[in-house]
Amino acid sequence: MTSVHTPNAPAAIGPYSQAIIANGMVFTSGQIALTPAGEMLSGDVSAQCVQVISNLKAVLEAAGSSLDKVVKTTIFLDSMDDFAAVNTIYGEAFGNHKPARSTVAVKTLPKNALVEIDAIALI
């Protein structure tokens, strides 16, 4: 296993890696709307989702992968009322590529984020 770290995405805010590479796959940690400098992005769920996708792309690229190699994502929402807005940003980011996905509403996310996304991708 190899740990992934890139300065183009926020550093882990706990005892975990941005991602782990194992057996030709990359498993990302959940990304929230932190900037690469570690500042929480204020704004609505759409603005936060754009930052989250940017963070995911940076971590995937650092691992030698990309959004078009993602096989599974999990989206965590502060409120299921934000599903449509997140779905629009997500759909634009992935285009015609449609990985398997789960979306769940949770009580609270780290730093009171509105959205968090993790991914599993091929290298």
Task: Write the CATH number for 27.
Answer: 3.30.1330.40
Q: Which tens digits make up the pLDDT trace of 51-85?
A: 999 999 999 999 999 999 999 999 999 999 999 99
Kindly report the pTM of this predicted structure. 0.96
Q: What is the mean pLDDT of residues 18-43?
A: 96
Helical residues (DSSP H) of the chain, grouped into ranges: 45-62, 83-94
Residue keyed to tokens 């959940």? 30
Task: Quote the domain boundaries for residue 61.
Answer: 2-122
Q: How many domains does the chain have?
A: 1
- Cα separation, 24 vs 123, whole angstroms: 5
For residue 42, what pLDDT is reported?
A: 87
